[in-house]
Amino acid sequence: MPLNPEPAYRAPFPLMGGHLQTVYASEVRRVRGVEYKRERIDTADGDFLDLDWSAAREGDDDVLGGVAIVTHGLEGHSRRTYVLGMVRALNRAGWEVVAWNLRGCSGEMNRLVRFYHSGASDDLGRVVEHVADRRPGQPLALVGFSLGGNITLKYLGERGDDAPEAVRCAAVFSVPCDLKASALRMAEPGNGVYMARFMHHLKAKVRAKARLFPGELDLEGLDRMRDFRAFDDRFTGPLNGFGGAEEYWRRCSSKPLVPAIRRPTLVVAARNDPFLTPECHPEAAASEWVYLELPRHGGHAGFPQWGGTYWSEERTVDFAAQWA
């Protein structure tokens, strides 16, 4: 894997430190001007996925880059700020965008007991297949954040040379390529606020699922769960066909699959990302197709800039333009 020179990106003053860059980008930034048209598609196992389409700027057909498929992160959705910012930047550059919602994340609970997880590359495959059918001949670019980035890398690695010809490139940010290392990092006291928030939302989702499927979920001890190990051991793993947290983390981590990727792929992880450890970064020599960039600043899915467009969005537009 080519290890690109350290990017020149620096977070603007006074947004210093990974936590502040993470929180500002997620909780303070506002993105306006994105309009979606929703489409629901079925999955092979009888469930559904909600896709939100956003057209490129009217009159820009002459600079149309193709279609970008954006995958959000843990407990995210298509209207999260980091997704909207990326969609807007790509639209302005002439790309049509599909921001898809993982199972149970579109505002309506999915139909099955299983829900989304970090290894749901089958669902991304369904989305890619559908978009390619809807837009024949158009180049596709994949974009992923955090959990969505792991799904994107896993999808590309699993398919290798057999990835759809329409898929030209990918760009992913803040990816926990080693799920266990990231889960243990998130359990550290310094990340307690983030963990509490994630657990609050995940617990609410399990309770909602239990109401839809009486008697199929054991909620004993749910209120006492404080970290991903406990939650994944009881729910994420078993509900999605894994024995528990350890098996789920091992089988769904994208890191071992990176050497098999055969599409130009940009992997960006800030050195001050509070959610990741060095183990979460792919090996620098793993693949000639994957370009690793490790800026000093950025936080987790942050990379803020003053002036409207964030550095991660500019970097994605530039990288996609190289390969589309």
Q: What is the pLDDT of residues 38-56, one digit of tens each?
A: 999 999 999 999 999 999 8
Residue 63 pLDDT > 60: no
With beta carbons less than 8 A apart as the criterion, state whether 306 and 24 touch.
no
Selecting among 118, 146, 254, 312, the annotated active-site residue is 146
Residues 188 and 281 in one domain: no
Is residue 13 a part of any domain in this protein? no
Taking residues 54-63, what's their average pLDDT?
Answer: 63
pLDDT band of residue 121 (cuts 50, 70, 90) is very high
Sorted by sequence, the CB contacts under 8 Å of residue 229 that are 6+ apart come out as: 183, 184, 187, 245
| Phi-psi map region of 296: left, alpha, beta (phi>0 left; psi -120 to 50 alpha) | alpha
Residues 317 and 197 in one domain: no
4's tokens: 């690109």
Is residue 38 a part of any domain in this protein? yes
109's tokens: 């609970």
Residues 148 and 281 in one domain: yes
Residues 77 and 213 in one domain: no
Residue 13 pLDDT > 50: yes
Is residue 92 a part of any domain in this protein? yes
The CATH number given to whatever domain includes residue 146 is 3.40.50.1820
The DSSP H or E segment spanning 81 is helix 81-92
At 226, the amino acid letter reads R
Q: What angle do CA 37, 302, 206 make, to 5 degrees?
A: 65
pLDDT band of residue 62 (cuts 50, 70, 90) is very low
Nearest by Cα to 148 from 191, 98, 188: 98
Residues 318 and 203 in one domain: no
Where does a domain end: 192, 218, 252? 252
Residue 262 confidence (pLDDT): 96
Residue 268 confidence (pLDDT): 97
Three-class HEC string of 199-221: HHHHHHHHHHHHHHCCCCCCCCC
Residue 269 confidence (pLDDT): 96
**218 belongs to the catalytic site:** no
Is residue 72 a part of any domain in this protein? yes
Is residue 11 a part of any domain in this protein? no
36's tokens: 């979606």
Where does a domain end: 252, 269, 290? 252
Residues 45 and 193 in one domain: no
Residue 70 is classified by DSSP as E
Residue 287 pLDDT > 90: no
Selecting among 130, 281, 297, 300, the annotated active-site residue is 300
d(CA 5, CA 163): 28
Residue 324 confidence (pLDDT): 80
Sorted by sequence, the CB contacts under 8 Å of residue 236 that are 6+ apart come out as: 117, 242, 245, 248
**281 belongs to the catalytic site:** no
The number of distinct structural domains making up the chain is: 2
Is residue 1 a part of any domain in this protein? no
Where does a domain end: 192, 224, 252? 252
Residues 290 and 277 in one domain: yes
pLDDT band of residue 6 (cuts 50, 70, 90) is confident
Residues 111 and 220 in one domain: no
Is residue 314 a part of any domain in this protein? yes
Start-end of H helices in 135-258: 147-159, 179-186, 192-212, 228-231, 237-239, 245-252
pLDDT band of residue 61 (cuts 50, 70, 90) is very low
Residue 181 pLDDT > 60: yes
Residues 85 and 24 in one domain: yes
Selecting among 50, 273, 297, 312, the annotated active-site residue is 273
**In the chain, what percentage of residues exceed pLDDT 90?**
90
Largest distance between two CA atoms of the chain: 58
Residue 25 is classified by DSSP as I
Taking residues 201-222, what's their average pLDDT?
Answer: 94
Residue 133 pLDDT > 80: yes
**223 belongs to the catalytic site:** no
Residues 155 and 74 in one domain: yes
Residue 1 confidence (pLDDT): 53
Domain that holds residue 216: 179-252
Residue 286 pLDDT > 80: no
- How many angstroms separate the first and last alpha carbons of the chain? 20
